[in-house]
Amino acid sequence: MATEVLTSSEYIRHHLQNLTYGHLPDGSWGVAHSAAQAKAMGFWAINLDTIGVSIVLGLLFLLMFRGAAKSLHTGVPTGFQNFAEWAVEFIDDSVRGSFSGRSPLVAPLALTVFVWIFLMNLMDLLPVDWIPHLAMAMGIPFFKVVPSADPNATFGMAIGVFLLVLFYSVKMKGPGGFASELAFHPFGKLGLPANIFFEGINLIAKPVSLALRLFGNMYAGEMIFILIALMFGGGIGMAVFGGALQWVWAVFHILIITLQAFIFMTLTIVYLDMAHQTDH
């Protein structure tokens, strides 16, 4: 919206559009320049902003923690090592609290999920216009900086968790055990179709709720930031009020992003714990 005048709805739509790379209608591969173009690309397209930001943030997390892990010593910890150890201890406590089995995967999984999602959510606190404007200045039509406000990212992670749940269910209970858990609960042998129906919903609900909860919260949060940002165009009084509102919402959002990351992590641990439980 640097040069052309935009209506409010166009402004909002612009902010909510991902930078999509895919098959253009004219037959070539490229970046979609409008929402309709992006939609027309179908499934085999990729949101460059979502995947790019999430990979950068994930690498940031891994490199920082790897750096801390490399420079570890048993003396008095300082600086980032202190923080990393605190985070690891916090996650370890959470895992011990919710996960009854023993697994080398769950705790690092929880750490990754928590910090990664937290960093993704943190992008929400960047003022909503900065990154899109910067991108526009660089000739990039769209740039949505919050990966967790893109359902692709949240569903991608939820599917990852879901696959782990399936893997550990089969591994711990055996294919037969897992199948019988789906087929013979809660109504016994006679209620087989109903059992499959209910347990199937129960199973599918896990990744769906996981993904939608995070997505919904982040999307709504971003939407409110965008709406507040709209007020900046409505005269000096509205702008000051909008600034105050944005500050208040940002402070509140600090809580939300941490909480959402924590909920995602805790539910991941709980779901994996359920997958590890052999008696239903």
Partner 1 sequence: MNINATLIGESITFFIFVWFCMKYVWPPIMNSLNERKKLIADGLAAGDRGRHELELASKSASQHLLEAKQKSGEIMAAADKRAAQIIDEAKQTAKVEADRIFASAQANVAQEVARARETLRSHVAELAVAGAEKILRREINSKTHADLLTAIQNEL
Catalytic center residues? 209, 213, 217
Please select the residue that binds partner 1; options are 1, 16, 125, 179, rule is CB under 8 A: 16
Closest to partner 1 by CB, 112 vs 217, is 112
Asked if residues 127 and 196 have their Cβ atoms less than 8 Å apart, the reply is no
Within residues 188-217, the interface with partner 1 by CB under 8 A covers none
Q: In which residue are the tokens 């609290």 written?
A: 97
Binding mask 154-173 for partner 1 (x = CB under 8 A): -xxx-xx--x----------
Please select the residue that binds partner 1; options are 1, 12, 24, 62, rule is CB under 8 A: 62
Rounded Cα distance between 117 and 260, Å, is 8
DSSP assigned state of 142: -
Please select the residue that binds partner 1; options are 10, 29, 30, 39, rule is CB under 8 A: 39
* 3-state secondary structure at position 5: coil
Q: Name the one range near partner 1 by CB under 8 A: 13-21, 182-190, 191-199, 220-228.
A: 13-21
Q: What is the dihedral of CA 71, 72, 77, 83, to 10 degrees?
A: 80
Please select the residue that binds partner 1; options are 53, 109, 119, 265, rule is CB under 8 A: 109
Half-sphere exposure of 12 (CA within 13 A, CB side): 13
Rounded Cα distance between 60 and 53, Å, is 10
Rounded Cα distance between 236 and 174, Å, is 66
- Residues that bind partner 1 in the complex, under the rule CB under 8 A: 16-18, 20, 22, 38-39, 41-47, 50-51, 54-55, 58, 61-62, 65-66, 68-70, 72-74, 77, 84-85, 88-89, 92, 104-105, 107-109, 111-113, 116, 147, 150-153, 155-157, 159-160, 163
